Amino acid sequence: MKRTKIKALLTSTAFGEEVVVKGWVRTKRENKEIAFIALNDGSIITNIQIVVDVANFNETILKQITTGAAISVTGKLIASGGKGQSVEIQATEIEVYGLADPEKYPLQPKEHSLEFLREIAHLRPRTNTFSAILRIRNTMAFGIHKFFNERGFVYLHTPILTASDCEGAGEMFRVTTLDPIKPPLTDVGTVNYKEDFFGRQANLTVSGQLEGELGAMALSEIYTFGPTFRAENSNTARHLAEFWMVEPEIAFADLEDNMNLAEDFLKYLIHEALENCQEDLAFLDQRFTKEESKKKQEDRSEWGLIEKLKIVLENNFERLTYTEAVKILVDSKPNKKGQFKYPISWGTDLQSEHERYLVEKHFKKPVILTNYPREIKSFYMKLDEDGKTVRAMDVLFPGIGEIIGGSQREEDLDKLVMRMKEVGLKEEDLWWYLDTRKFGTCPHSGFGLGFERLILFITGMGNIRDVIPFPRTPQNCEF
Ligand code: ATP
Ligand code: MN
């Protein structure tokens, strides 16, 4: 007989019919006459209850049914008398596929700390919290493709292996097939990358943007969605060494078009989550409230999780320049009382504490900051008329800080070359990128959304290591 997923059974009214469910045992309670098994197959956060008439079952099989075991149950679907569930299954036959020795199985039916669960990341998808996060992650990934597809964007696959080290070489992971103990050397004693696989130094990509621009200059509107890598040794709750990035690039578009796209995009995804992930969000909302209540009053979120999602959905994002934001921050109470860890003045990059003050305390809604000083932004951002600032935009979210970074690109060849010189980039290394400015250049814009930052926001989790199945961070590449 064909197996039915628990998600479908929980809303079924085919009472009396025989069904087959397969999944992993969450808990078993029993007395002399009757046993109750809570079974979960990952299709939904809710378990289905299996009712077992002990007298009709083989004692050995019943003993094998412990937390974590994989089983198949054949039985009759019946309306449930129990509180909080609509249906249950009266078992007629149970097959045990895989045992889970209760002495050794690390996931017990009690609350485990997130730190402990990171050590058993291979098993944590079997918990309520992580299965909810992974289902939401899936819905968001699908939503991203849906959003762009509905708008005629082309999904462009940009390379993961690159030879351009244009965005801060220190943060890149080198890719090589050279012998690590005895690499070939040049006459002056440095490693001879001419003998390496690509005949030159290669790295894992930190962003698909430059290639994304090449695509936009032919297809008008593209997006990339793939893994990116940064060897930043920062060890924060918002940085991973391997993360997923979504990068749209749009031709014939200025910064305002770019901001509109970013705002529409984020709202669309939040709406998708609220529509399609109700059970998981309800669970995470409760979890969020519980976690917040453990924090000090001044560190607590102003809003509940679902409330926060709705606030973002229902409000226009506040748009202001970096210069205006710095003024607000300089005049702010925490600055005057010396409560910011990092000092603030025009020209310095904003720290997460500053971003969160603007979003959570001052405006109480998402903020888009624009026109940053050129010195703290990338070479490809379009210079403003005053020559001091560039047409950059950062989207700042409650609880997160920067969730999107983007800009209008410099389409003027001479200005772009001048900016490259300033930051020490060689024209010949990026000849193909500069060609787009030589042949049919046009105004264009784009941004990058850190996929895991979005998932952090939607799920209300506090650490980015908990919203990707197998996190990679400094000193951590297990699983
Ligand atoms: P931050 O200042 O937070 O380090 P950034 O300025 O380095 O971010 P960008 O280079 O603009 O970020 O990348 C675009 C987006 O990618 C960011 O807005 C953020 O959402 C995400 N992002 C950047 N670095 C990481 C990382 N190490 N792990 C996860 N997401 C990241
Ligand atoms: Mn960074």
**Closest ligand 1 atom to the C-alpha of 406?**
11
CA 407 to mean position of chain CA atoms: 21
**Closest ligand 1 atom to the C-alpha of 454?**
20
The pair of structure tokens assigned to 171 is: 């943060």
SS3 120: coil
- Which residue has its alpha carbon closest to ligand 1 atom 3? 402
Quickly tell me which residue has 């210069």 as its tokens.
Answer: 323
SS3 414: helix
CA 9 to mean position of chain CA atoms: 30
Q: C-alpha dihedral over 317, 323, 325, 328, to 10 degrees? A: -140
Q: What are phi and psi of 86, to 5 degrees?
A: -100, -35
Contact 291, 280 (CB under 8 A): no
SS3 53: strand
Q: To test ligand 1's pocket by mutation, which of 225, 239, 240, 242 has the most ligand atoms within 8 angstroms of CB?
A: 239
- Which residue has its alpha carbon closest to ligand 1 atom 28? 239
CA distances to 135, 244, 247, 288 from 207, in Å: 26, 10, 8, 32
Judge if pTM exceeds 0.85: yes
- Which residue has its alpha carbon closest to ligand 1 atom 23? 450
What string of DSSP letters covers 253-289?
--HHHHHHHHHHHHHHHHHHHHHH-HHHHHHHHHHHH
Instruction: Give me the residues paired with residue 90 across strands.
Output: 51, 76
Residue extents of the structural domains in the chain: 6-108, 125-171+206-466
- Which residue has its alpha carbon closest to ligand 1 atom 22? 450
Which residue from 307, 309, 288 is spatially nearest to 462, judged by alpha carbons?
288
Instruction: Give me the residues paired with residue 49 across strands.
Output: 38, 88
Question: Digits of tens for pLDDT over the chain (479 positions)?
Answer: 899 999 999 999 999 999 999 999 999 999 999 999 999 999 999 999 999 999 999 999 999 999 999 999 999 999 987 777 789 999 999 999 999 999 999 999 889 999 999 999 999 999 999 999 999 999 999 999 999 999 999 999 999 999 876 555 568 999 999 999 999 999 999 999 999 999 999 999 999 999 999 999 999 999 999 999 999 888 899 999 999 999 999 999 999 999 999 999 999 999 999 999 999 999 999 999 999 999 998 788 889 999 999 999 999 999 999 999 999 999 999 999 999 999 999 999 999 899 999 999 999 999 999 999 999 999 999 999 999 999 999 999 998 999 999 999 999 999 999 999 999 999 999 999 999 999 999 999 999 999 999 999 999 999 999 999 999 999 999 99
CA distances to 49, 325, 403 from 340, in Å: 52, 15, 21
Ligand closest to 245 (CA) is 1
Q: Which CATH number fits domain 6-108: 1.10.357.10, 2.40.50.140, 3.40.630.10, 3.40.50.2300?
A: 2.40.50.140
> Given the DSSP bridges, would you call strands 154-155 and 221-229 parallel, antiparallel or unpaired?
parallel
CA of 297 to the centre of ligand 1 (A): 29
Q: Is 199 left (phi over 0), alpha (psi -120 to 50) or beta?
A: left
Quickly tell me which residue has 């409000």 as its tokens.
Answer: 315
Q: How many CB atoms lie within 10 A of CB 39?
A: 24
Cα distance between residue 80 and residue 75, in whole Å: 14
Element (H, E) at 434: helix 431-438
234 DSSP assignment: T
- What is the separation, in whole angstroms, between the first and last Cα of the chain? 35
Q: How many CB atoms lie within 10 A of CB 13?
A: 9
Cα distance between residue 381 and residue 390, in whole Å: 6
Ligand closest to 167 (CA) is 1
Residue length, the chain? Answer: 479
Fold of domain 125-171+206-466 = BirA Bifunctional Protein; domain 2 (3.30.930)
Residue 421, amino acid: K
Residues within 6 Å of ligand 1 by CB: 230, 232, 239-240, 243, 245, 402-405, 448, 450, 452-453
Sign of CA dihedral 50, 54, 55, 61: positive
- Which residue has its alpha carbon closest to ligand 1 atom 12? 405
Q: To test ligand 1's pocket by mutation, which of 402, 445, 449, 457 has the most ligand atoms within 8 angstroms of CB?
A: 402
CA of 348 to the centre of ligand 2 (A): 15
Contact 47, 6 (CB under 8 A): yes
Cα distance between residue 466 and residue 181, in whole Å: 36
Cα distance between residue 261 and residue 247, in whole Å: 12
The pair of structure tokens assigned to 31 is: 């007395």
Cα distance between residue 313 and residue 322, in whole Å: 24
SS3 449: strand
CA of 35 to the centre of ligand 2 (A): 53
